[in-house]
Amino acid sequence: MASKNSASYSSLPQSNGNGNHINGNGPHKDGSKKKRVLIIGAGCSGMSAAYAFSLSPEKFDVKVYDKAPSVGGSATSYQLPTNLEFGAQYINDGVQGCSPVFFNTMKMFEETLGFKASDVGMQISFGKGKDTFWSNVFPSELVEEFKGDIKKFGKILHVIKSFEPFFAVIPVDKMLKMFRFSPSFGNETKHISSAILERVFLDPSMRLFEFSEDTLLGSVPHMKAFPELARVYGEWKNAVIKNGNVTVESDCEVNSIERNTKAARAKGGNILATVKGTRQESFDEVIFACDADSVLKILEAGSGPSWKEKKVLGNVLYKWDVTVTHHDWDYMCKHYQMTYDEKYNAKRDDEDSKRHFNLQRRIGSHFTSSRCTKMILHKLK
């Protein structure tokens, strides 16, 4: 589900050559022995780190800075004009939900923050008409056309799993060519690592989809839809600052980081951050909880990245995708197949497929009552 690439990475203390850590845990100028940590970014990774530190107020003093006006990073929500028109008061922007394997996130939403994620089934339509309509709700002619590729894809997923370190650096389009898939089979995520693709099908802790060798996805996957993210993050911020050792500042860009420089040590720490253009602050540790491009930019503006950092961080392309969420039924019907239509059925002759198809068809007619596609999140109950 992710289309952006974030880097969550801690700049660990470095040695001064005598085997001692330069920053150490020794007393600071103010006499405190607490470790002072800077977290750059208040999206889910920065907030998770901050939350963990907030549980040890005797050990850490933490500042979370984010250049955006509110916390949440990519996870934002909008208030809708009226709840009567859309049947909801808000819409989560981009980030929608996850598979139930992320049980701990759901538990935290519910037990710590008081928000419940809802059960949904995910129905997908990528287009309209004989050549572009694909659905995980009922087998279409397009699925029939690619049935050989789909079967092969199931086998290749296991090959990728066996040689995961190799396939981690092979993007999906190269992998498809390597295994001679049909040229028009699956090119929507061509730059993503093949290992990530394999994991969303096979890894029990990352799994989003159930593979079906008949239909690619096994009917309608059970998912969880996140509650209103702006309120969740508001409450999360309150939980994080509750113990007094963590502060969270929005509208606060970190411009550069110097590590282990004379100027940094003169300020009594290992890390010297320039914030909001001119403000200089000293820390013992820094956690970059922002996209890889921003990390590289911050390091380049300061004491510079190591060659390894340059290579790793420069290798991750940050994509400024635009997500458009439509609620216009006429628009959606113009571009996507929104309702069940018999003419797109795959022609199935064998008994097993017929049984499967009848089940799909029942779900398919359910599909007609649901509004909103591309990624349809639709209540199971």
Ligand X SMILES: Cc1cc2nc3c(=O)[nH]c(=O)nc-3n(C[C@H](O)[C@H](O)[C@H](O)COP(=O)(O)OP(=O)(O)OC[C@H]3O[C@@H](n4cnc5c(N)ncnc54)[C@H](O)[C@@H]3O)c2cc1C
Binding site residues, ligand X, CB under 6 A: 1-4, 6, 8, 40-46, 65-68, 73-75, 94-98, 253-254, 289-291, 294, 298, 321, 323
Least Å distance between CB 163 and ligand X? 26
Q: What DSSP assignment string belongs to 307-375?
A: HHHHHHHHTS------------HHHHHHHS--S--GGGB----SHHHHHHHHHHHHHHHHHTT----SS
Q: Kindly give the residue spans of alpha helices, DSSP state H, lying in the chain.
A: 44-54, 83-86, 103-107, 141-145, 147-162, 164-167, 172-178, 194-202, 229-241, 262-266, 292-301, 307-314, 329-335, 351-367
Least Å distance between CB 98 and ligand X? 4
Least Å distance between CB 93 and ligand X? 8
Q: What angle in degrees, to the nearest 10, is found between the helix axes of 307-314 and 292-301?
A: 150
Nearer to ligand X, 232 or 254 (CB): 254
Nearer to ligand X, 52 or 178 (CB): 52
Inter-residue contact 144 to 135 (CB < 8 Å): no
Per-residue exposure over 100-124, b if at least 16 CB sit within 10 Å of its own CB, e if not = eebeeebebbeeebebebeebbbbb
Nearer to ligand X, 22 or 101 (CB): 101
Nearer to ligand X, 168 or 196 (CB): 196
Nearer to ligand X, 156 or 271 (CB): 271
Residue 111 is given by DSSP the state I
Least Å distance between CB 104 and ligand X? 13
Nearer to ligand X, 143 or 372 (CB): 372
Nearer to ligand X, 96 or 245 (CB): 96
CB nearest ligand X: which residue? Answer: 73
Least Å distance between CB 205 and ligand X? 13
Inter-residue contact 292 to 319 (CB < 8 Å): no
Least Å distance between CB 68 and ligand X? 4
Least Å distance between CB 349 and ligand X? 38
Q: Phi, psi at residue 209, to the nearest 5°?
A: -125, 150
